[in-house]
Every structure is written in C-alpha cells, then in structure tokens.
Amino acid sequence: MSGIYCNNDAKHLCKELLTKNSVNLNSEIDFDINGDIHTLSFEYIIDTFMMASDSSKAAFLAALQKAMESKNEGARKFFEGMGQLLLMTHLSKKIETV
C-alpha cells in the first residue's frame, strides 16, 4: 500500500486486517523487564504506532499485512516485535530523563 494515510484510515485498515483474519484486537502479550511484567494489547500497540508519521504508519501497515500472510504465528510475532520496540523506546526515553 502506498500513499499517505490519515491516522484513522491507517488505524482502521490495521484493525480491519486483524478482524478479517480472526485475530482478536484484545489479545495481549506479556513482556518481562527486570522482573516487572508489562502487558500490551494488540489494539494498544496499533493505537500507539498510529501516533507516528504518515510514512511510519504506512510501513507499520505494510509490515502487518506481510505478517498476516504467514498465518501461523505471524500476527503474534509481529506484535511481540512491535511491543518490544515500544517498550525499548519508552525505557530509553526514561533513561535520558534520569
């Protein structure tokens, strides 16, 4: 998919793609960071990435489409990676402010 998406269009396309593939938006992934468990839902990860630039939103959507093509654990692995990226970004910002 090419072109520029407004926030709601890209978000809607991501959520629609998951729904069409019977993936629950409320699915969650737990991340253990130094003994603290952080739980992120697929919907939260999508919503957070949709706050990025238009080109980042398009890249996220394209990567999600690719992940969905692999069927087996594509969606889960995709969201694990995106969740890790969000948490690393959050932690790095937290370290910079300390």
Mean pLDDT of 33-41: 90
Asked if 57 and 10 touch (Cβ cutoff 8 Å), the reply is yes
**Total of domains in the chain:** 1
Q: Is residue 89 part of a domain?
A: yes
Q: Is residue 1 part of a domain?
A: no
Q: Is residue 26 part of a domain?
A: yes
Q: Is residue 56 part of a domain?
A: yes
Which range of residues forms the domain containing residue 63?
12-97
Beta pairing partners, 36 = 33
CA dihedral 45, 51, 52, 53 (to 10 degrees): 140
Task: Tell me what pLDDT residue 88 has.
Answer: 86
Position 4: which residue type? I
Q: Is residue 46 part of a domain?
A: yes
| pTM (2 d.p.) | 0.82
Q: What confidence tens digit (pLDDT) does each residue in 46-96 have?
A: 999 999 899 999 999 999 999 999 876 889 999 999 999 998 887 666 655
Q: Is residue 70 part of a domain?
A: yes
Q: Is residue 7 part of a domain?
A: no
